[in-house]
Amino acid sequence: MKISWGTGVIIAFALFMTFILYFVFTVQSNSKYDNDLVVEEYYKHDAHFGDEMVRIQNAHDLAQKPSFTSTSEGIIVSFPEFFIPKNIKGNLSLYRPSNKKLDFEVPISLSGSTLLIPKKSLVDGRWDINMEWQYEGKSYLTKEIIYIK
């Protein structure tokens, strides 16, 4: 039986479309391929974007900024010496882009000018850090990306 080139093209298109449909259904139904949003309530988050930009600018305008350092003990957040530690309030959110289940928050409570996030609560790889904090009535937002080894 001889197949003409037109029939061959139609068979090739049908096989290609079958493969694509199989791939789409597999990715959508298998929990291994997690396709969640980065932020659960995206539109609420987007509505406060202007306020977020003001807090980022406040942090950018500081002469000395908080620093993030990855060490063998964990992540050390160091505030400049001129800040009074008891007047700093806020939260540190650690976001793991590859696994939402590893995300967590740490309240900022300082005895000195540093805050340690222990290595035992961190998995190796990339961590996105959002530090929302207030000092003397002014709000700040500091964002940093750290790689843990």
Strands 88-95, 125-135: pairing is antiparallel
Q: Is 54 helix (H, G, I), strand (E, B) or coil?
A: helix
Four-CA torsion 129, 134, 140, 141, nearest 10 degrees: 20
- pLDDT given at position 36: 62
How far, CA to CA in Å, does 132 sit from each of 2, 71, 91? 71, 22, 5
- pLDDT given at position 102: 87
CA distance 98 to 96: 6
Q: Could you read off the pLDDT of 109-124 as tens digits, one per residue?
A: 887 888 888 888 888 8
Residues 79-99: what's their mean pLDDT? Answer: 88
Whether pLDDT at 37 is above 60: no
CA distance 148 to 119: 9
Whether pLDDT at 32 is above 80: no
Amino acid of residue 11: I
